[in-house]
A and B are shown apart, each in its own frame.
Chain A
Amino acid sequence: MLKMSNISKIYRTELVETHALRELDLHVEEGEFVAVTGPSGSGKTTFLNIAGLLESSTSGLYELDGVDVSQLNDRKRSRIRNEKVGFIFQSFNLIPDLNLADNVDVPLRYRGWSGAERRKAVGDMLDLVGLGSRQNYLPSQLSGGQQQRVAIARALAGKPRFLLADEPTGNLDSEMAGAVMKLLEDINAEGTTIVMVTHDPDLANRADRNIHILDGRASDVIPAISPNVTPLPERGVARV
């Protein structure tokens, strides 16, 4: 599903050169739920941005769903992002002036679906996250947990095969975080591949696999260990 080989990312200014990722090798299989952990500044978000085609790597090869996406132009990258990738952000990133239906509708607008197709998908997704009756609400009228559920509905509306979540429970209390995590697990159980960046070891341990990034390198592979979760057999590799 996702294969990164020797991926490096260097941010350059006139004075400094920052190596955000250093020859990262990473492989995620279809249907996996992978947690990415690491301290602040380790390169987790950079990895997520490159994986989601929001940034390009400085060097290395990145294949998504068997396609080399390293050298694609903006239009093709945008199309792949729209069709295959869903994003969930720590701060939800809902557009404040749009109601819930219009927020969920955003990726579908760029898909070229008909109005009827879009309305059905939006309704289905909001029903899925339990907010089907609040389509006309503005994000500011919802709690943080509800907003994150809308963000998940938006990420899933276009039926992407690959979900990237950046600290999806970072702004939620433990109860809401648990609910969101349960939702992600359900989505993964339906076959969607999920890569989740998190600081929370408990959440990381609920994933199939835990990749630790340190100083821009995937430095370790930690099998998921949790008293409540049975580790799945390893389906992918990450190596230094």
Chain B
Amino acid sequence: MFSYYIRLALTSIRRTPVLSALMVLALGLGIGAFMTTFTVYYLMSGDPIPHKSDVLYAVQLDNWDPNDDPTESASDVQPQLTYQDGQHLMNADTPAIRQVHMYGSDMVVVPEGDDPPFNENVRATYQTFFSMFDVPFIYGSPWDKRADDDHASVIVIGRKLNDRLFNGENSVGKSIQLNDGFYQITGVIDDWQPTPRFYHVDAGRRFSDSEQIFLPFTRAIDLVLGPNGNTNCWAPLDDSLPVIEAFLKSECVWTQFWAELETPEQAAAYKDYLDNYVRDQKQIGRFQRPLNTFISNVREWLVVNRVVTNDNRVLVRLSFLFLLVCVLNTVGLLMAKFLGKSGEVAVRRAMGASRQAVFIQNLVEVATIGVAGGVAGIGLAWLGLKGIENLYRGYQHLVHLDPVMLATAVCLAVISAILAGLYPVWRVSRQAPAGLLKAL
């Protein structure tokens, strides 16, 4: 019977093409607007590393200006560490299973042959980065701890760069020129794009591409690679020292620090370790504000950094209201459509169709319109996301409809259509057939 109802639905839709198109358009507009904003919100608020998000912790130490406003939460503390604090933690025997100290930079890649040099984002980090964040490799592996200790000229590159420089072939063991030096490749990682890019959530970079070059932090410092990201300072550099040394010993925050802590007990012990470290530093005149150390797991970290802004939430709510307006319009259109079908309904009732059968038949028609509205909505959402991609740089990872979003769009459209159709369908199925038999 269901296939019969589908056939009747398609016949009915063809009978009133303009009215049907208006309903599809109304639903499509509502679904399109909602899916555009909701897709961005969904990807912004997603867990970028769900299987480990509760064991990876970002570290914050409140080393800021003692005259600044008091700290009330982790959101009030700088999200990055000074070089000296990060290095201390990295080299200390802390309760963490693994830790990583890192920062973003950029270097010039000089290809072999006639291809011109180009700039590429770089992450200066430790070999622990790859195992902590489960970065997938297609060739080779990360460099080893000895390379970190030896400040070795080794790198891991991304698939895109490997495709560009080596046509996708295994490049492990080969060297490439970065700035003025050559670096041996130890591994090639697959496409890896956590969204949001939680490990470095500078505003404007939180949805950017992952880096294509990773090199030892120790080597990057030797090279004096400057940070490519926010650098915040509250005290002047010590002008009695060379500028680089002064910067590294300053209270400027520009590095990111993460710890892997598997149990709540480990997390508590790690927090105690941080508190004790800050207390020790206070003894030598640093950390003049009240003791404020924070560790936040990935999901907490995204909240601390307000990755999803209130504007995003307001937009989703507004677009949902717009969808409701579209659904209400569809109710009116469906009323007009089904009242025009009264004669046919009366004939079917006279031929033995129960009210329930008429109700289901027309609900299938409404759902069919909903599916068409969903498809139209997906098309409009795609256009909307393309518009966002063109308008806002750095949002390219938020402007795609994944299978979950596609299925959501169609389900939402069908549910919207059925909600819109419930009253008109109920009305037409309750009409007394006797008085309508001459209305065909």
Contact = CB atoms under 8 A, between A and B. Distances in A.
B354 interface: yes
B350 A75 contact: no
A154 B348 CA distance: 11
A111 interface: yes
A52 B15 CA distance: 30
B15 A82 contact: no
B434 A54 contact: yes
A74 interface: yes
B219 interface: no
A97 B351 contact: no
Interface string A81-103: 11100010111011111100000
A48 B25 CA distance: 44
Contacts of B348: 106, 110
B437 A97 contact: no
A82 B351 contact: yes
Nearest to A81: B352
Nearest to A46: B434
A96 B440 contact: yes
A57 to B, nearest CB: 12
A109 interface: yes
B343 A93 contact: yes
Interface string B322-353: 00000000000000000000011011111111
B357 interface: yes
Contacts of B349: 54, 78
A107 interface: yes
B344 A95 contact: yes
Interface residues of B, number: 26
Contacts of A90: 438
Contacts of B11: 97-98
Contacts of B352: 78-79, 81-83, 107, 110-111, 158
Nearest to A90: B438
Interface in B410-432: 432
Contacts of A83: 352
Contacts of A74: 354-356
A95 B440 CA distance: 7
B243 to A, nearest CB: 83
A117 interface: no
A64 to B, nearest CB: 14
Contacts of B350: 52, 54, 81, 87, 93
What bracket does the count of chain A residues touching chain B fall in? 20 to 34
A137 to B, nearest CB: 16
A110 B438 CA distance: 22
B354 A78 contact: yes
A107 B351 contact: yes
Contacts of A54: 349-350, 432-434, 437
Nearest to B355: A74
B223 interface: no
Contacts of B344: 95
A55 interface: yes
A91 B354 contact: no
A93 B344 CA distance: 8
A75 B433 CA distance: 14
B118 interface: no
A49 interface: yes
The winner among A55, A81, A106, A109 for most chain B CB atoms within 10 A is A109
B12 interface: yes
B440 A93 contact: yes
A93 B1 contact: no
B392 interface: no
Interface in A61-85: 74-75, 78-79, 81-83
Nearest to B1: A109
Interface in A92-137: 93-98, 106-107, 109-111
B356 A75 contact: yes
Given A55-B434, A75-B356, A95-B440, A87 B351 contact: yes
Interface string A124-168: 000000000000000000000000000000100010000000000
Given A109-B1, A109-B4, A93 B353 contact: no
Nearest to B351: A107
Interface of A: 45, 49, 52, 54-55, 74-75, 78-79, 81-83, 87, 89-91, 93-98, 106-107, 109-111, 154, 158
8 contacts: A49-B434, A54-B437, A74-B355, A78-B353, A82-B353, A91-B438, A107-B351, A110-B348
Given A55-B434, A106-B348, 14 more contacts: A49-B434, A54-B349, A55-B432, A74-B356, A75-B356, A78-B353, A87-B351, A91-B440, A95-B440, A106-B347, A109-B4, A110-B351, A110-B354, A110-B357
Interface of B: 1, 4, 11-12, 14-15, 343-344, 346-357, 432-434, 437-438, 440
